[in-house]
Amino acid sequence: MTENLSDINSSTRAQGGSVGNDKTVVFIDTDVGWDDWCAIALLTLHPQIHVAGISVNGCGEAYFSDGYKNARNLLQLINILTIPVAKGQGNPLSYSNVFPADFRKAVSNVYNYPLPESKAPETKFSATELLQNSLDSYPDLTYLAIGGFTNFTEFLNSGPPAQPKRIVAMGGAVDVSGNVADLFAQAYPNNITGEWNLFVDPEAAAKAVATRSGFLTFVPLDASYKVELTQSVVDMFKDESTPVVKFIHTILQDKLEEAQKGGYQEYFYDPLAAATIIKPDLVSRSHAKFTVLTDLEEENNTQGQLNYQPDASANSEYCHDPDADGFYQLFSATIHQQL
């Protein structure tokens, strides 16, 4: 069974009437990686958040069709079947910066975790249509980009009558090194400044930053690197008291062991970005103007580098110095539904 745009229009507007004034409405755009799963669970389970929709792109961690299926199946696990999920773009605007195939395969397979099959009807409409419809119903929604800007740039290319008033994006590196070569040096040894969410489609990121009309908040690696995945954090979910807690515990334990075996540290990238929407004072913020580098130079590859100029009057900012303990407590309490 499929669901068309008119069905979602009616459903979304009906939900709009029931969203309290105290709730923040969020639209999630995702490449459906492991940290995206955590971010989606955090936002869909938090009582102060209403998720209007989810759009999936195939330009990041998961392969396109698998990512779409996994997003829907995750909502089935969470037992929230009213959130529409739409497909966006499967390819970047230019270049072919991709995660290694074995990494993408593991993510696409959800590390062999048996998610339940979604019972919700599939949708025929596009990510652009879903976002436009969501904005019609919720003009003040927050757009969360946790998988690059390919889908958002496609939305911009459609000539929308209005953009989200606030965009929060996990991406970039401000005063720290990038993570492109750091994570996959064999594939991209000459890029030490780019961050993956901007690197996978640098042209889209550059356009999104240059043409956005709403307030733009980056949650860069500077903030992520202060929120580590450790055994003590994993153990916060060892009770496995619900299907969601069990899933989070299993995935975090697998990621921690993978990182330990590989000799690197893992971090809560996307969940931290999501948490800043729920609790803005989890982080410090500095205003700045941004640009994203797109040119490819093989000997000194800076694609995906986020350049910034401090500017107290800028309509954009980046987050830093997060309260790590505050994040862990918020994440655990929400996943355990103890708020």
328: enclosing H helix or E strand: helix 324-335
C-alpha to C-alpha distance for 26 and 35, rounded to whole angstroms: 17
Q: Tokens 């969020």 correspond to what residue?
A: 26
Contact 231, 254 (CB under 8 A): no
Q: Output the average pLDDT for the chain.
A: 94
* Rounded Cα distance, 56 and 147, in Å: 8
**pLDDT at residue 12 in the model:** 44
Mean pLDDT of 48-61: 97
Q: What's the pLDDT score for residue 59?
A: 94
pTM above threshold 0.85: yes
At which residue do the structure tokens 């969601």 appear?
244
Q: For the beta carbon of residue 91, count every other beta carbon within 10 angstroms.
A: 12
Q: Please tell me the predicted confidence (pLDDT) of residue 15.
A: 39
Picking from 5-14, 26-35, 43-52, 259-268, which range would have the lowest pLDDT averaged per residue?
5-14
% of the chain exceeding 90 in pLDDT: 88
Query: Do 60 and 183 contact (CB within 8 A), yes or no?
Result: no
| Residue 241 confidence (pLDDT) | 98
pLDDT for 297:
83
Strands annotated E in 214-295: 215-219, 284-292
Confidence tier at 11 by pLDDT (50, 70, 90): very low
pLDDT at 18 over 70: no
- The CA-based angle 146-260-283, given to 5 degrees, is 40
pLDDT digits (tens, 9 = 90+) for 152-196: 999 999 999 999 999 999 999 999 999 999 988 888 999 999 999
What pLDDT, on the 0 to 100 scale, is given for residue 4? 57
d(CA 275, CA 131): 21
Count Cα atoms within 13 angstroms, Cβ side, for 238.
Answer: 7
Q: How confident is the model at residue 16 (pLDDT cuts 50, 70, 90)?
A: very low
Q: Nearest Cα to 293, choosing from 190, 168, 201? A: 201
- Higher confidence at residue 299 or residue 45? 45
Q: CA quadruple 318, 323, 326, 328: dihedral positive or negative?
A: positive
Over residues 83-89, the mean pLDDT reads 97
Q: Terminal CA-to-CA distance of the chain, rounded, Å?
A: 35
Residue 13 pLDDT grade (very low, low, confident, very high; cuts 50, 70, 90) = very low
* Residue 10 in this model has a pLDDT that exceeds 80: no
- How far apart are the C-alpha atoms of 271 and 294, rounded to whole Å? 27
For residue 69, what pLDDT is reported?
98
What is the C-alpha separation between 13 and 221, in angstroms, rounded? 37
Q: Is the pLDDT of residue 5 over 80?
A: no
CA quadruple 260, 261, 264, 265: dihedral, nearest 10 = -30
Q: What is the largest CA-CA distance in the chain?
A: 55
pLDDT band at 3; cut points 50, 70, 90: low
